[in-house]
Every structure is written in C-alpha cells, then in structure tokens.
Amino acid sequence: MIRGLSSLSRAMMLGFVRDRAALFFTILFPLMFLVLFGGLFKDTGTSKPEVVEIGAVALFDQMPPEGRAQLDQVLKVVQNPDRNAALDQVRKGDYSAAIEQQGSTVVLHYSAQDAVKSGIVQGVLDSVVNNANLVSAGVTTPRFSLAAERVEDKSLKTIQFVTPGLLGWAIAVGATFGAAMTLVTWRQKKILRRLRLAPVRTTTIVGARVAVSIGIALVQMVIFIGIASLPYFGLKLSDYWWMAVPLIIAATLAFMSIGLLAGSFAKTPEAASAIANLIVLPMAFLSGSFFPLDGAPAWLRTVSQIFPLKHLNEAMLDVMVRGDGPGSALPAIGLLLGFALVVGSIASLLFRWDDV
C-alpha cells in the first residue's frame, strides 16, 4: 500500500523543483507582492508635520522644557532665518508650514497641499497660543484638559494584514495548479496509463500528489512567515499562529479539488492553466488576499463566502495576527474539508485515465 508512495512523491517533487516557471509562480511571485506591499505601505500612519521657524519665535523658544518636549512629539521644528527661502520651501511642499512671530501675533504660513498636516499644525499652534494666553492670564491649573492617546498601534499594521492574505493566495496557486497540471500532463503524456499498468493503487497516486502539495504549502508558509518576520517588515505572530498549519492542510485539499476539477475538463496543459487562472485570480481578489473587502458591497461579500480562500484568509488572520484562540479556526477547517470533499467527489466522477 505504501509501496510507490514515496517514490511517486519524490518523482513529483523533483519535477516541481526543476520546473522554474512553477517555482516562480508558486513561491517567488507571491513573495514579490509581499515585499512590495509590506515595504510600500510600511508606514501608513501620517508622519509628523515639519515646520520651519523663521527667525526667532518667542512663543516656542520661551516654552518651559516639558512643554517643548510635548511639542516636539507632534511637530518637527526646523530653523531658517531666511524668510523668503522658508516660504518657498512651504510652497514646494517640503515643509507643512512656516511660523514667524510679529509682535504678539504668531503668523502661520501654510499651503493647502496636505490638508491633514496643515490642520494638525494649526491645531497644535492654536493650543500653544491658548496655553500661553492662559498662563499670561494667571491660570496655571486649567479646569478642563484633554488627554489624547493614539490607538493606531493596536490595530493591524499592513504587514500583519497582507502576510496571511498573500500566503493564502500563494497556497491557492500552488495547490490548484499543481493538481490540475499533474492530472493533465500525466494524462496527455500517458503517464497515468503507464501507472495504471503498474501494480499501484489509485489512492497511492492521489496520496503522493496530496503529500507533495501539502509539503509545498508548508514550505510556502515557512518562507512567507520567515520573510515577513524580518525586522524590516516586522510581522508579529500571535500566540496560536500554529493553528495555521491544520488550516493550510485543509485548504490545500480544497484548492487541489478545484485543480482536479479544472484538470478533468481540460485536455491540454494550456487549457488547464487557463481554467485554473480563471478561478484562482478572481477568488484571490474576492477573498481579500490583496486588499480588504470591508469597503466592498454586501452582495460581493456574500459571493466571496463560496471561495475556500476567503475562509482560509479570515481564519489565518484570526489565529496568526488577531490573537484569537485555536478554536476559532475549527469552523473554517470544517468548511474547507467539506469543500474539498464535495468538489473532489465531483472531480473523481469526471476523472479519465485517458484522453480518448
């Protein structure tokens, strides 16, 4: 029963590893997206506005040290005694605003280019001026105070969001294409027929392909998590990230069943690849692999529920980065296995050993 399993797996694995195109599309290509998304949108939060101080602004310079420290947390202040040069820098967008003091009036020069930053600068300056006014009026303990706290760090950083999604997509590509291409090329090249004439069980042949696909998926997982965890990208896994392993195994089976179905209809590898693409690409978009679907219309989100990738992505997000417990992945695992069973059964009904 085990005879042939390891040698067939080995033959398939060697065939995969030596196929540069397959290696590229299942590992390197999704990884490029990870590097791209993870790198591009690394700092999605608004950075500190930079402000030019023209000459001396007594209001800033005479602030008590603790006040000045608070100010430096929200604004970056740069000195430039040349008024024209400073205003020019603001016009070009190098700085968000320029500040000068004329007597008791603090003048703020800003451009409307970045409304968010100039808004912040106005607000900050307003409060600085108000504070100064209060102090000069003798109010040292204001009745009301505002305590502002940032919550951004507790929400998902880009890398946290894109790693599970892109990993899911990579696994979908690998398992779907792997199953479809093996089926079609082995049928076309009569390898299936040759195997049928050898004392091997059909389950052994299928088992070998499943073992190879799961192996590839787990390697993809290791590579993705490894790269995303580099300090540059800064992926932080939550406690139960390892629940992604059974999830990925179940999802691999589901994607393979899609591939087998595509392979049952296709006669040539080209057709198989086209059909698989036609399924995998829309599925990846609708499953939130590339961008969140929160803004999508409700009907689209309902449609996306039929895709196994959607459930894999959601469940991986939950256990890998959102810190949900291991039990949270179980419904998704059940769904994925059910999908694999149903679609796999249909594919096995359509299975043909031969072209004719």
Partner 1 sequence: MTLTISVNGLHKSYGDVHAVDGATFDVDHGEFFGILGPNGAGKTTTLEILEGLREADSGDVTVLGRPPWPRNQALLPRIGVQLQATSFFERLTAREQINTFASLYGVGARRSDEMLELVGLSDKADTRTEKLSGGQAQRLSIACALVHGPDLVFLDEPTSGLDPQARRNLWDLLRDINGQGHTVVLTTHYLDEAEILCDRVAIMDHGRILQQGPPATLVRGLDAPTRISVESGQITVAEAQSIVDDAEVEDDGVSLTIATRTPAQVLSTLADRNAMRGLAVRGATLEDVFLNLTGREFR
Q: Which of 194, 236, 267, 352 binds partner 1 (CB under 8 A)?
A: 194
Site string for partner 1, 326-355 (x = CB under 8 A): ---------------------------xx-
264 neighbors 270 (Cβ within 8 angstroms): no
| CA-closest candidate to residue 268, choices 145, 176, 160, 355 | 355
Q: Under DSSP, is residue 107 helix (H, G, I), strand (E, B) or coil? A: strand
DSSP 197-256: TTT--HHHHHHHHHHHHHHHHHHHHHHHHHHHTSTTT-----TTGGGHHHHHHHHHHHHH
Q: Is 14 a binder of partner 1 (CB under 8 A)?
A: yes
Q: Is 48 a binder of partner 1 (CB under 8 A)?
A: no
Q: Is 185 a binder of partner 1 (CB under 8 A)?
A: yes
Cα separation of the two ends of the chain: 29
Which range of residues in 145-153, 183-191, 281-289, 314-322 is near partner 1 by CB under 8 A?
A: 183-191
Q: Which of 42, 48, 91, 193 binds partner 1 (CB under 8 A)?
A: 193
Please name the residue that has the structure tokens 């406690």: 239
Which range of residues in 49-57, 73-81, 131-139, 185-193 is near partner 1 by CB under 8 A?
A: 185-193
Q: Is 23 a binder of partner 1 (CB under 8 A)?
A: no
Nearer to partner 1, 200 or 237 (CB): 200
Which range of residues in 15-23, 56-64, 118-126, 145-153 is near partner 1 by CB under 8 A?
A: 15-23
Q: Is 189 a binder of partner 1 (CB under 8 A)?
A: yes
Please name the residue that has the structure tokens 């939550």: 238
- How far is it, in rounded angstroms, from Cα 322 to Cα 224? 17
314 neighbors 332 (Cβ within 8 angstroms): yes
Taking the complex as a whole, the smallest distance from the CB of residue 356 to partner 1 amounts, in Å, to: 8
User: How many residues bind partner 1, per CB under 8 A?
Assistant: 26
- How far is it, in rounded angstroms, from Cα 63 to Cα 86? 23
Which range of residues in 61-69, 125-133, 193-201, 254-262 is near partner 1 by CB under 8 A?
A: 193-201
Q: Is 7 a binder of partner 1 (CB under 8 A)?
A: yes
Nearer to partner 1, 41 or 353 (CB): 353
DSSP 263-318: HHH-SSHHHHHHHHHHHHHHHHHHTTSSS--TTS-HHHHHHHTT-HHHHHHHHHII
CA dihedral (165, 170, 175, 177) in degrees, to 10, reads 130
Q: Under DSSP, is residue 42 helix (H, G, I), strand (E, B) or coil? A: coil
DSSP 8-state code for residue 48: P
Q: Which of 199, 231, 295, 297 binds partner 1 (CB under 8 A)?
A: 199
Nearer to partner 1, 109 or 187 (CB): 187
CA 201 to chain centre: 41
Token pair listed for 260:
């087998």
CA distances to 19, 140, 150, 185, 264 from 214, rounded to whole Å, are 18, 67, 42, 20, 21
Q: Which of 40, 116, 198, 278 binds partner 1 (CB under 8 A)?
A: 198
Q: Which of 48, 190, 236, 352 binds partner 1 (CB under 8 A)?
A: 190
Which range of residues in 101-109, 192-200, 223-231, 305-313 is near partner 1 by CB under 8 A?
A: 192-200
Q: Is 11 a binder of partner 1 (CB under 8 A)?
A: yes
Q: Is 203 a binder of partner 1 (CB under 8 A)?
A: no
Q: Which of 15, 67, 215, 234 binds partner 1 (CB under 8 A)?
A: 15
Q: Is 35 a binder of partner 1 (CB under 8 A)?
A: no
Contact residues toward partner 1 (CB under 8 A) are 3-4, 6-8, 10-12, 14-15, 18-19, 185, 189-191, 193-200, 353-354
